[in-house]
Structure 1
Amino acid sequence: MNGDWLAEGRAELAAERILDAVRMLFVEKGASAVGMAEVAETAGCSRATLYRYFDNRQALYVAFAGREARQLIERVWLNRSINSEAGRADQLLDAIASVLAEVRKTPHLAVWFEPANSGIVAQLSNSSDVIDAIGAGFVAGYRPALTDSAARLLGQWMIRVVVSLLTLPGGGEDEERAMLRNFVMPFLLDDTTTIE
């Protein structure tokens, strides 16, 4: 075990190292099969050290989901511009479809949406402040007139739509895009819809 785990200034690095271990274990074993002892061993720390950073498995998974969601946003849609009125719906549709595709092709993300892990995903999508903030920020980016609470609610709904499409995939990319275009886009882009 590495003796400098708790050295001053290393807390963020240590947490990242633990989350990297989680990523590796999820790919090898699946999310539901990973325990705290395995994470500590893979990260090269004691269980006591692991619990100093994360109170329990739920807290560890929330932190992992938050980190991976931020990184996914940076890779896929943060640099997208959704400001052209003519192509606003198509740009938004492309951004959401890109997120879905990126999750599905990334092994440590795809594993979360296998049937055995659906309970974990449902809990995480409802318990992560980071994911709520990402959803709210995404919504506020193209609906700036919304109040903060309305953006948060619409962001939570959007996260649930994405989680549902990942957990229960339909009949392929074309069918999925059609569902998004026909049911999600009209609601997301309708500035006249009141959200309380």
Structure 2
Amino acid sequence: MSDWLAGPRGELAADRILDGVRSLFRARGLTGVSGIGMAEVAAAAGCSRATLYRYFPNRQALFVAFADREAQRVVARVWRDRGAVADPAAALLDTLVAVLAAVRGTPFLAVWFEPVNAGVVAQLADSSDAVDVLARTFVASYRPDLDEDAARRLGRWLVRSVVSLLTMPAEPDEERELLRAFVIPFLVGARVPA
């Protein structure tokens, strides 16, 4: 463990800890999220518990940081892979479907949305600043007419809609239709949830 803190300490240490969390989720499968303790995370990351607590004061902070990092990675990957945008509504629908597929296709993310982990996900959906910023920025890119507060509210509603579809999946065609009928109008139209 002597080289554990070598290099740029802050980001390197936090990323190494979050990589340890990811490996635990991968190894544990369906029970991975709620059953992981801080001692296991420290062991998986190859650090002491004191070091772990220096960067993440509790499990909630650790899980929020993990969700933040992975949400940013999924959105960046989907955004990078999307094609040319001719019809904004169709492109937005395709992007949301791609986000759902990316999360479901990544085992250490898909485990979060299993019924056994629903309580953890519900807490994270409301406490992740990075996810909030991602959603607000995403909404603002489609709705430049909105002020920051309205974009934030619509972003939070979008996160809840996506989390709902991830935790209670439907057939792909039905999900696409639900997004088209109930989400897309808010993101490209004039409606904003109060």
**TM-score normalised to structure 2 length:** 0.93
C-alpha deviations, 1:128-182, integer Å up to 9, x for none?
Answer: 1100000000000111111111111100000000000000111x10111011111
Percent of matched pairs sharing the same residue:
59
Match of 1:136 in 2: 136
- SS of the equivalent of 2:127 reads coil
Q: Alpha-carbon deviation of 1:60?
A: 0.3
Q: Report 1:20-39 matches (<5 A).
A: 20-29=19-28, 30-39=32-41
Do the aligned residues in 2 keep the contact of 1:82 with 1:142 (CA within 8 Å)? Answer: no
Do the aligned residues in 1 keep the contact of 2:4 with 2:46 (CA within 8 Å)? Answer: no
Match of 2:117 in 1: 117
- The one of 56, 69, 87 equivalent to 1:54 is 56
What amino acid does structure 2 have at the position aligned with 1:116?
V
Q: Alpha-carbon deviation of 1:73?
A: 0.8
What amino acid does structure 1 have at the position aligned with 2:191?
T
Number of residues of Structure 1 aligned to a counterpart in Structure 2: 191
The 1:194/1:41 distance shift into structure 2, 3 A limit, reads closer
5+ residue gaps in structure 2? none
Do the aligned residues in 2 keep the contact of 1:77 with 1:99 (CA within 8 Å)? Answer: no
- SS of the equivalent of 1:126 reads helix
Looking at structure 2, the residues matched to 81 and 134 of structure 1 have their Cα atoms a distance apart, in angstroms, of 20
Looking at structure 2, the residues matched to 158 and 194 of structure 1 have their Cα atoms a distance apart, in angstroms, of 11
Match of 2:88 in 1: 88
Q: Report 1:140-159 matches (<5 A).
A: 140-159=140-159
What amino acid does structure 2 have at the position aligned with 1:63?
A
Match of 1:188 in 2: 187
**Are residue 165 (structure 1) and residue 165 (structure 2) matched?**
yes
Q: Alpha-carbon deviation of 1:7?
A: 4.7
